[in-house]
């Protein structure tokens, strides 16, 4: 994604792999619960 989201705005639809080996769609997860999205550069990258 090349655009910044405003604080409090809705996340765009996306699919992502998880540590359990499954792939999750945001829309499917939001049907059952709330979601907190957290991003960080990673343990082995500067920043």
What whole-number percentage of the chain has pLDDT above 70?
A: 87
Domain extents for the chain? 14-47
Q: What mean pLDDT comes out for the span 19-32?
A: 92
Q: Is the pLDDT of residue 2 over 70?
A: no
**Cα–Cα distance between 37 and 4 in angstroms, integer?**
14
**Cα–Cα distance between 25 and 28 in angstroms, integer?**
5
Helix (H, G, I), strand (E, B) or coil at 23: strand
pLDDT category of residue 26 using cuts at 50, 70 and 90: very high
């Amino acid at each position: 994604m090349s655009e910044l989201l405003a604080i409090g705005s809705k996340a765009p639809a996306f699919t992502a792999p998880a540590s359990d080996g499954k792939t999750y769609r945001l829309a499917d997860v939001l049907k059952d619960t709330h979601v907190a999205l957290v991003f960080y550069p990673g343990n082995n990258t500067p920043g």
